């Protein structure tokens, strides 16, 4: 569904009380891709051992900063052209 959105639609926020939590399509894409990259890095590490330093570091970062991480991810993607 996101691939069918126009640039204007990608920049429009979803309703704050809906499943998109007020994020735009662009922010939703950034969120999904950014965390998918993280999960793939964790999976690569776990394929070769029982622990993932990437996961451990991300968990500590999340515990310390929470949604600021998502805000930074969205800001980085906002700087990219559509």
pLDDT in tens, 45-81: 999 999 999 999 999 999 999 999 989 998 998 888 8
The Cα–Cα gap between 5 and 25 comes to: 8
Q: What is the pTM of this model?
A: 0.77
The Cα–Cα gap between 9 and 68 comes to: 24
CB atoms within 10 A of CB 25: 22
Task: Return contacts of 8-16, CB within 8 angstroms, 24+ apart.
Answer: 10/82
Helix, strand and coil content of the chain, in percent to the nearest 5, comes to: 65, 0, 30
Q: Over range 22-31, report the average pLDDT.
A: 90
């Amino acid at each position: 569904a996101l691939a069918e959105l126009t640039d204007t639609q990608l920049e429009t926020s979803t309703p704050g009380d809906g499943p998109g939590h007020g994020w735009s399509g662009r922010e939703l894409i950034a969120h999904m891709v950014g965390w998918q990259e993280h999960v793939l890095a964790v999976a690569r590490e776990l394929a070769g051992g029982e622990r993932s330093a990437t996961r451990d570091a991300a968990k500590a970062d999340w515990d310390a900063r929470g949604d600021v991480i998502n805000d930074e991810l969205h800001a980085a993607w906002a700087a990219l052209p559509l």
